[in-house]
Amino acid sequence: MRLTKKERQSYLSQAFEQDPFLTDEEVAKKFHVSIQTIRLDRLELGIPELRERIKHMAEKKFDHVQSLSPNEVIGDVIDLQLHKSGISLLEISAEHVFKRNQIARGHILFAQANSLAIALADWKVALTGNASIRFVRPVRLGEKCIAFANVAEAHDSRLHVGVQTKVQEEIVFQGDFEVYRVGDDRGN
């Protein structure tokens, strides 16, 4: 069944509201229209492209973070509740992979998870004291890694943070991080 432009745009607004990570390609398939039609609909509705939506979400979530600035986090933080949980998104690009096999370098996945764990700390200076990690499967060029962090234990000067990174619904990385508070509230 073909929708009118008005109906399609209404559904399109709802779709992006429910899942801001939808690509134009995914939405075009869902509504059986061209990618160009979706782009024009987004423009008319004032919905920015995926990269801008993610950037905007990340900026909003970083208002109260003390431990890191937004440019120190690997990936885009899309949800953050200090001392509780957080989510970040990282699309694997050519700069993240080995050239010969297009597989993401391990330190990139570690850095995404580690920086998200540190961002959860509501302290001026927070460092990773210990980490236990496991790479479950290789991640390839173009895949979108979504890291989910949850604080398992919170103390005055220490957080135990579990992080799972998924590509679609498949776990690709797991880590447990001990994040420690350094100095006093003045950042000393």
Q: 85-94, pLDDT tens digit by residue?
A: 999 999 999 9
Closest residue by Cα to residue 165 from 181, 143, 186, 187: 143
**How much of the chain, in percent, has pLDDT values that exceed 70?**
88
Query: Cα separations (Å) of 47 from 9, 13, 38?
Result: 11, 8, 10
Q: Is 145 helix (H, G, I), strand (E, B) or coil?
A: strand
- Burial class of 142 by CB neighbour count within 10 A (0 to 12, 13 to 18, 19+): exposed
Distance, in Å, from the CA atom of 64 to the CA atom of 101, rounded to the nearest integer, reads 40
The pLDDT of residue 188 is: 46
Distance, in Å, from the CA atom of 10 to the CA atom of 41, rounded to the nearest integer, reads 10
Domains of the chain from N-terminus onward: 5-47 (1.10.10.10), 56-181 (3.10.129.10)
Distance, in Å, from the CA atom of 150 to the CA atom of 27, rounded to the nearest integer, reads 30
Q: 22-41, pLDDT tens digit by residue?
A: 888 888 998 889 999 999 99
